[in-house]
Structure 1
Amino acid sequence: MLRAIACEPQGARHGLIDDEVTLDFDNRHRRRLAMTGKDGLEFLLDLPRAHRIRQGDTLLLEDGRRVRVMAAKEELTEITTTSAADLVRVAWHLGNRHLPVMLLPDRILIRRDHVIEDMVRLLGASVAMVEAAFDPEDGAYAGGGHHHHHHDDDHGHG
């Protein structure tokens, strides 16, 4: 089976798009997964390790073809407040629980979770059920930005 062997971030755009797949949040964080594009192209996602694929990223197939990834609509919880300060406070509590969140200028989207929904109501927020594409923030430790400092010399790292 044809394999997708790399993922190019949105914005890199080097070439034409040959097909498109629409995936939910869970299926956009995989290493291996059989897929079929909307135009019928069948291929196997076969990355060296699990990778968070974002809305608009492009999968690079071993034969040179390219498949754009779109975020599927999912049942989500929309959180709103009456002030920006209250929304920031709710965002802090959600972040403290390490939940994936999609931050928008006037609202926050999270995956459905009745316990969290009750918590944000207690914080004074309004909750509504919506259907939307979910493309949450990567978080502070996503990607290659986390540096591990390993060596054997002893010069007082504390």
Structure 2
Amino acid sequence: MTPITDILPAGAWTGDPADRVVLDYDGRHRRRIVLTGVSGASYLLDLAQATHLHDGDGLLLPAGGVVRVEASPEPLMEVRGETPAHLVRLAWHIGNRHLTAQIDGDRILIRRDHVIGHMLEHLGARVLEVEAPFDPEGGAYHDHAHGMHDHAQ
């Protein structure tokens, strides 16, 4: 099992990865865990503190090379408004309920929740169930629940 103690942020490394690990949102918040690459190789991620890994981050191998982190698709709801101002209002309602949310152009992605989906539809949102990688916005006060990009060295 290969130990990994360093993370390279997405965009800070180039070239082909030596391997890839595919993880959902919750699986990308880690301090110490055994990960299995798509090649079948095992890696011991051993960081100084819990860190949120993002799609495209690289896990630096001790002998050189990088294992690419890939966000796996998961069940989400795509929320769209009638106008940009309407989307902002919908975002306020989502934030007021302390839900993790990914702002993605003219849509907001949140985890599937039929009660929240119904509330948003009642507010005039177009809500569609989708399967997509989830990488929510970082929060001002919390690093895991709201996905703050914090890289341990």
TM-score (norm 2): 0.85
> Residue 50 and residue 98 in structure 1: after superposition, are their counterparts in 2 closer, same or farther (change >3 A)?
same
| Corresponding residue of 2:73 | 73
Instruction: Give deviations 1:53-81, integer Å, cap 9, x for gaps.
Output: 11111111333331010110111111112
> Residue 58 and residue 123 in structure 1: after superposition, are their counterparts in 2 closer, same or farther (change >3 A)?
same
Unaligned runs of 5+ in 1: 145-158
Task: Say if 2:121 and 2:127, in contact at 8 Å, map to a contact too.
Answer: yes
Q: Is 1:38 aligned to 2:38, yes or no?
A: yes
**Correspondences of 1:2-81 after superposition (within 5 Å):** 2-13=2-13, 16-81=16-81
Post-superposition, which runs of at least 4 consecutive aligned residues in structure 1 deviate over 6 A?
Answer: none
- Larger RCO, structures 1/2 (Cα 8 Å, 6+ apart): 2
Q: Which has the larger radius of gyration?
A: 1
Equivalent-residue separation in structure 2 for 1:117 and 1:110 (angstroms): 10
Equivalent-residue separation in structure 2 for 1:80 and 1:14 (angstroms): 35
Task: Say if 2:54 and 2:149, in contact at 8 Å, map to a contact too.
Answer: no
Aligned length: 144
Identity of aligned residues (%): 51
RMSD: 1.8
Unaligned runs of 5+ in 2: 142-147
Equivalent-residue separation in structure 2 for 1:41 and 1:6 (angstroms): 18
